[in-house]
């Protein structure tokens, strides 16, 4: 009989988030969009299993505010104490940070073709969708445990990650390991949608209490 462990937990790795904002020219392939440059740092300080290495690849988002300039957000996620399920934690931390980001007001001087920023009139980043990652560890081909710890990851025989945004299924990642049948996969997706609503609710409640 297939079993699904309680999915009320939320990832435990302790992370530090820092963000830098600058104005730059848009990329050729997306001339009307700004972009995000995320970086996840996994040093030996957070776990002995990690070694120093280069940063990760880039991702894109945001919007344009002139025809020649866009916002660029450099987002650094630094893992301070790794205890499993890093993917879910990083997605959650980045989403919460973006929801709490304020962009300064920018004006364009046509005479000297220069940009100026003002501290007053900051505007929030527009978040159209709220993706939530839900990772399940597989044990003995029939026990599925959500949000696994490092020890549970080591003992598992496989894992599957489901990313949902509101009522949309964004991604399913199954990097090998024990196979899942159609019923097990459907159960993971259903629970991922339920977890999405719970995580979004908790995040919004927390951000509403933040003094901005």
- In whole numbers, what is the pLDDT of the chain averaged over residues? 77
What's the CATH number of domain 3-208, 3.30.230.70, 3.90.1150.10, 1.10.3720.10, 3.40.50.1970?
A: 3.30.230.70
When computed from its CA atoms, the radius of gyration of the chain, rounded to whole angstroms, is: 20
C-alpha–C-alpha distance, residues 113 and 67, integer Å: 12
Q: Tens of pLDDT along 118-165?
A: 767 678 888 888 899 999 999 987 788 899 999 999 999 999 999 999
Cβ-count burial of 67 within 10 angstroms (0-12 exposed, 13-18 middle, 19+ buried)?
exposed
pTM (predicted TM-score): 0.72
Domain ranges of the chain: 3-208
Q: Which residues of the chain have pLDDT under 70?
A: 1-21, 35, 41-67, 119, 121, 211-212
């Amino acid at each position: 009989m297939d079993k699904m462990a309680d999915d009320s937990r939320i990832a435990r790795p302790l992370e530090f988030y820092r963000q830098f904002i600058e104005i730059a020219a848009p990329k050729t392939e997306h001339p009307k969009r700004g972009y995000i440059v995320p970086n996840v740092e996994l040093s030996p300080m957070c776990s002995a299993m990690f070694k120093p290495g280069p940063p990760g690849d880039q991702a894109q988002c945001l919007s344009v505010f002139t025809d020649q300039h866009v916002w660029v957000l450099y987002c650094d996620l630094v893992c301070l104490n790794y205890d499993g399920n890093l993917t879910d934690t990083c997605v959650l931390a980045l989403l919460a940070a973006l929801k709490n980001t304020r962009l300064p007001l920018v004006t364009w001087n046509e005479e000297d073709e220069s940009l100026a920023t003002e501290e007053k009139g900051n505007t929030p980043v527009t978040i159209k969708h709220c993706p939530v990652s839900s990772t399940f560890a597989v044990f003995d081909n029939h026990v599925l445990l959500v949000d696994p710890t490092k020890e549970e990851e080591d003992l598992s025989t496989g894992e599957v990650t489901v990313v949902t945004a509101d009522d949309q299924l964004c991604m399913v990642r199954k990097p090998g390991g024990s196979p899942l049948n159609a019923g097990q996969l459907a159960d993971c997706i259903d629970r991922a949608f339920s977890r999405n609503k719970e995580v979004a609710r908790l995040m919004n409640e927390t951000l509403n209490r933040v003094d901005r």
